[in-house]
């Protein structure tokens, strides 16, 4: 919990969060996926090269992620077999051919609905940590009051 507090305090102390760099990548079906199309509607957890176990946990936590309007965007290398893995409503698998997007996000980041980078991680963070951080965000607290969940 101390890590969560430190992240929340560093975000609060810095004032406005830095804007997330825009990007467009392809999914396994060759469809383009643009960050700008999701800002304002969803929070995004960008994770680079997550393990198969991490992706399985995202699928298991699908409902908790949906309640918080949180989508996990997994950046994988081209040809990675996981690109064709099982889908979930809150999981997007994208091919980051050059690794540029992963480098921009350092390699993992949480982006708020406002497009600001709320937290950066050195490795894919535990989902419970991310969910707890999201629950502290003022916009999420307002959503809970309005939605009752």
Domain of 36, CATH number, reads 3.40.30.10
pLDDT of residue 5: 39
- Per residue in 44-103, pLDDT (tens digit) is 999 999 999 999 999 999 999 999 999 999 999 888 888 888 888 899 999 998 889 998
Domains: count for the chain: 1
CA proximity to 130, closest of 146, 113, 109:
109
In a domain, 104, yes or no: yes
In a domain, 46, yes or no: yes
Residues 95 and 128: their CA atoms lie apart, in Å, by 26
pLDDT band at 148 (very low <50, low <70, confident <90, very high): confident
In a domain, 51, yes or no: yes
In a domain, 7, yes or no: yes
In a domain, 148, yes or no: no
In a domain, 105, yes or no: yes
Q: Please, what is the average pLDDT of the chain?
A: 86
**Of residues 110 and 27, more confidently modeled:** 110
Write out the two tokens for 62: 């699908």
pLDDT band at 17 (very low <50, low <70, confident <90, very high): low
* DSSP code for 50: -
CA proximity to 108, closest of 127, 123, 94:
123
Q: Omega of the bond prior to 107 within 30 degrees of 0, cis?
A: yes
Angle at 129 between CA 128 and CA 133, to 5 degrees: 115
Write out the two tokens for 79: 């040809």
User: Which structural domain, as residue segments, surrounds residue 93?
Assistant: 2-141
**Of residues 13 and 143, more confidently modeled:** 143
């Amino acid at each position: 919990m101390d890590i969560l507090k430190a992240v929340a305090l560093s975000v609060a102390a810095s004032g406005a969060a830095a804007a997330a760099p825009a990007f467009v990548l392809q999914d396994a079906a060759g469809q383009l996926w643009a960050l700008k199309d999701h800002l304002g509607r969803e929070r995004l957890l960008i994770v680079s090269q997550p393990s198969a176990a991490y992706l399985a946990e995202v699928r298991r936590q699908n409902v908790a992620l949906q309640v918080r309007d949180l989508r996990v965007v997994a950046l994988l290398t081209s040809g990675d077999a996981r690109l064709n893995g099982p889908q979930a409503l809150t999981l997007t698998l994208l091919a980051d051919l050059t690794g540029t997007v992963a480098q921009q996000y350092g390699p993992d980041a949480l982006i708020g609905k406002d497009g600001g980078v709320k937290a950066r991680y050195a490795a894919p963070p535990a989902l419970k940590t991310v969910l707890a951080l999201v629950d502290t965000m003022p916009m999420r607290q307002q959503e809970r009051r309005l939605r009752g969940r």
